[in-house]
Structure 1
C-alpha cells in the first residue's frame, strides 16, 4: 500500500490519504457522491475511490486497477 501511496502522490502532487483518513485530507479527494468511472476526473481519483472508499465496482476484473480505460 505504501508504494501505491507514493505513486499516487507523485501523480497528483498531493499527499496520500490513509485508511485512518477516509475523507482524503491532503489528497484533494473525498469519499461520496461518485459511483462510476465516468464520474472520475483522473486515474488517481479512481484509485482513491477504490482503495480508500472501497468502491470495488470500479475494478471489474479484480486486478487492482480501477477504470481500465482511464488507468492504463
Structure 2
C-alpha cells in the first residue's frame, strides 16, 4: 500500500516533489505525511483541501466522480492539470 501511495503521488504531483525549493528534510517529510492523511470517504470536491487529495481519491480510491468530464483532471476547482 505504501508503494502504491508513493507512486500515485509521484505521478500526481511529481514536479512538486522533484526539486522542492530549499525545503528542509522535515518540511519535505511533512508533504508526505499530509498525503497519508487522505482517505477514501466520498466527499464533494468543494470539501477537499488540495489537488493531491483529489488525485488520491481519483487514482487510489477509484472515485471516477472526481473527473466528471473524463479529461484526467479531477476536481477542476482545485486542479489545473492531469494527475
CA distance, structure 2, for counterparts of residue 5 and residue 36 of structure 1: 21
* 8 A contact 2:51–2:75 mirrored in 1: yes
- Structure 1 unmatched runs, 5+: 16-25
**What residue is the counterpart of 2:69 in the other structure?**
61
- Structure 2 unmatched runs, 5+: 21-29
Query: Which one has a larger percent helix, Structure 1 or Structure 2?
Result: 2
The higher relative CO (CA closer than 8 Å, separation ≥ 6) is in 2
* 8 A contact 1:35–1:55 mirrored in 2: no
**What residue is the counterpart of 2:23 in the other structure?**
none
CA distance, structure 1, for counterparts of residue 43 and residue 37 of structure 2: 17
When Rg is computed on C-alpha atoms for both structures, the one with the higher figure is 2
Large movers: runs of 4+ above 3 Å: none
CA distance, structure 2, for counterparts of residue 35 and residue 55 of structure 1: 10
Normalising by structure 2, what TM-score?
A: 0.57
CA distance, structure 2, for counterparts of residue 61 and residue 28 of structure 1: 27
CA distance, structure 2, for counterparts of residue 5 and residue 44 of structure 1: 7
Aligned-residue CA RMSD (Å) = 2.8
